[in-house]
Structure 1
Amino acid sequence: MALTPAGLSMEHRRHGARERRAAVSGRFVTTFAGDPDMPIASVNGQNLYYEDTGGRGPALVFSHGLLMDHTMFAPQVQALQGRFRCISWDERGHGQTADPEQCAPFDYYDSADDLAALLEHLGVERAVLVGMSQGGYLSLRCALIHPEIVRALVLIDTQAMLEDPEQMPHHEALLRAWMEHGLSDDMATTVERTILGQGWSGAAAWRAKWKKATPINLGQSFLALAQRDDISPRLPDIHVPALVIHGTDDTAIAPNRARAMAKALPRAQWVEVPGAGHAANLTHPQPVNLAIERFLEQLD
Structure 2
Amino acid sequence: MQFAESNGIKLFVESTGTGTPIVFVHEFAGDHRNWDDQVRFFGRQFQCITFNARGYPPSDVPDDVEQYGQDMAVEDIANVLRWAGAKDAHIVGVSMGGYATLNFGLTYPGMARSLTIVGAGHGSDPVRREQFLHDSAELADRLVKLGMEEGIVHYANSTIRRRFKEKDPRGFDSFNRQFAEHSALGSSLTTRGYQMRRPTIYALADRMATLPVPTLIVAGDDDEPCIEPALFMKRTIPDARLWIVPRTTHAVNLEEPEAFNRVAFDFISSVDRARQG
Please classify the TM superposition score into its range, dividing by the shorter chain length: 0.7 to 0.9
1:279 aligned partner, one-letter code: A
Specify which structure has the higher proportion of helix.
2
1:290 aligned partner, one-letter code: R
Q: Which gives a bigger RCO, structure 1 or 2 (Cα 8 Å, sep 6+)?
A: 2
Aligned equivalent of 1:294: 266
Aligned equivalent of 2:136: 171
1:273/1:288 contact within 8 Å kept: no
Give the Å deviation of 1:122: 1.2
- Secondary structure of the residue aligned to 1:97 is coil
Q: Structure 1 unaligned runs (5+)? A: 1-37
Give the Å deviation of 1:138: 1.2
Q: CA RMSD in A?
A: 2.2
Structure whose alpha-carbon radius of gyration is higher: 1
- Secondary structure of the residue aligned to 1:220 is helix
2:268 aligned partner, one-letter code: L
Aligned equivalent of 1:25: none
TM-score (norm 2): 0.86
Aligned equivalent of 1:239: 212
2:139/2:188 contact within 8 Å kept: no
Change (3 A) 1:161 1:207: closer
1:270 aligned partner, one-letter code: L
Change (3 A) 1:246 1:221: same
Q: Is 1:141 the equivalent of 2:103?
A: yes
Within 5 Å, give how 1:267-282 maps onto structure 2. 267-282=239-254
2:142 aligned partner, one-letter code: A
Residues 257-296 of structure 1: CA distance to partner in whole angstroms, max 9, x if unpaired?
2111121110000111111111011111111111111112
Aligned equivalent of 1:156: 118
Residues 164-217 of structure 1: CA distance to partner in whole angstroms, max 9, x if unpaired?
413332232233223212346584254244553333321222322333333421
Distance across 2 between alignment mates of 1:243 and 1:148? 17
Give the Å deviation of 1:159: 3.0
Change (3 A) 1:41 1:174: closer
Q: Is 1:222 the equivalent of 2:191?
A: yes
User: Would you say how many aligned residue pairs link Structure 1 and Structure 2?
Assistant: 261
- Secondary structure of the residue aligned to 1:88 is strand
Residues 126-169 of structure 1: CA distance to partner in whole angstroms, max 9, x if unpaired?
10110111111111111122221111101111139736413332
Change (3 A) 1:103 1:287: same
Q: Is 1:45 the equivalent of 2:15?
A: no
1:233 aligned partner, one-letter code: D
Change (3 A) 1:98 1:256: same
Q: 2:175 aligns with which of 206, 218, 221?
A: 206
Q: Is 1:181 the equivalent of 2:146?
A: yes
Distance across 2 between alignment mates of 1:75 and 1:116? 24
Change (3 A) 1:103 1:91: farther
Residues 69-113 of structure 1: CA distance to partner in whole angstroms, max 9, x if unpaired?
011111111111111111111111124215345875321111111
2:117/2:218 contact within 8 Å kept: yes
1:281 aligned partner, one-letter code: N
Distance across 2 between alignment mates of 1:89 and 1:226? 22
- Secondary structure of the residue aligned to 2:106 is helix
Q: Is 1:130 the equivalent of 2:95?
A: no
2:146 aligned partner, one-letter code: H
